[in-house]
Structure 1
């Protein structure tokens, strides 16, 4: 994914995930946030093209705590300014943020002493954040290709597992992930009341190529 892909990615995100909090902050904030996946070495962002046009995307992180630190250091002030501007013209959303999310976000801002290593530590869980396939490209294997690339990168980085959430029940893609070996790990409810199902995929870290010893 490059910056030139961001208009497509943001438009598809808004269409497929309109109820997410970041989506409700508007296209400007979502563009700034999605850009963080392009600058962090612990993040991955892919786009699939067909006939020269993007038809699907995936964003995820190989080491969530390390990526979070990168976002705060490299993009924190800009994201905060955009969020405040968006909330200022959305008073109902601002009140919802104060009631349900402000405390959690402030806790994440507390500095921690540990520093990121050169690669995810053993046992790290890679998180597949969002994957979307444009409607005209469904059933062509685009989603499987995107997920497969992310899983391969996570295994190569030494992650122990990959994780994702999807809407619970018939609205979500749970059966699709189960057919591809992902394991259901439970359900959670968002501050907005949406029920999400969590899935994990155990990974076998790749061994470096080279002569046997």
Structure 2
């Protein structure tokens, strides 16, 4: 993925995941945020083209804590300014943000330290996160999603990650059964502040390479 691909990526993201919080901040913020995947050494961003036109994309991170540090260090002020402008013209969304996300985001800025005497993690190893994958409707059933996800899983394995994780909508609107048929393991459900129920899946990288459906990732 290159900067020239961002208009396509943002348009498709808004079309497929309009209810994600970052999408609700508008195309300007989403463009700035998606750009962080192009500059972060722990991020991966791919685009597939057909007949000279983009028809699909994937973004994800191989080391989420490291990527978070990169975003804060290299893009933090610009993203914060974009977010403030977006919230200023969307007062209802601003109130929602203050009520549901401000404290969580502030906690995310603090260094994470293990509690004294805490036991080692039961499932060690870095978990790569597949954030979003989309294939345009005109290019579906061509194996493009499988190619994109296979590439990300392969990159995560080369990087030494222990597993790859993703979230999808829970229930009939989600892709859970598709992933389960391909060896991805369900890891529980969470509910967003907006009330959407999301299912988490992961795949150990010692298992055969897995692939996914046409779109995944509800946005933040």
Length-normalised TM-score, structure 1: 0.90
Q: What CA distance in whole angstroms lies between the structure 2 residues aligned with 1:151 and 1:74?
A: 26
1:132-187 per-residue CA deviation (whole Å, 9 max, x = no partner) reads 01010111101000000000000000000000000001111112211221111111
Provide the residue aligned with 2:8 in structure 1. 8
Deviation at 1:30, TM superposition (A): 0.1
Provide the residue aligned with 1:93 in structure 2. 93
1:1-213 equivalences under 5 Å are: 1-111=1-111, 123-204=125-206
Query: What is the DSSP-based 3-state SS (H/G/I as helix, E as strand, rest coil) of the residue aligned with 1:159?
Result: coil
Deviation at 1:8, TM superposition (A): 0.3
Q: What CA distance in whole angstroms lies between the structure 1 residues aligned with 2:197 and 2:91?
A: 25
Q: What CA distance in whole angstroms lies between the structure 1 residues aligned with 2:108 and 2:141?
A: 39
Query: What is the DSSP-based 3-state SS (H/G/I as helix, E as strand, rest coil) of the residue aligned with 1:60?
Result: strand
Q: What CA distance in whole angstroms lies between the structure 2 residues aligned with 1:7 and 1:47?
A: 12
Superposed CA RMSD in Å reads 1.4
Task: Note the residue ranges of structure 1 that are not aligned, 5 or more in a row.
Answer: 114-121, 206-213
Structure 1 range deviating more: 102-111 or 126-135:
102-111
Deviation at 1:111, TM superposition (A): 4.2
Q: Which has the higher contact order (CA 8 A, sep 6+)?
A: 2
Query: What is the DSSP-based 3-state SS (H/G/I as helix, E as strand, rest coil) of the residue aligned with 1:41?
Result: coil
Equivalent pairs, count: 198
Q: What CA distance in whole angstroms lies between the structure 2 residues aligned with 1:183 and 1:19?
A: 25
Deviation at 1:204, TM superposition (A): 2.6
Provide the residue aligned with 1:118 in structure 2. none
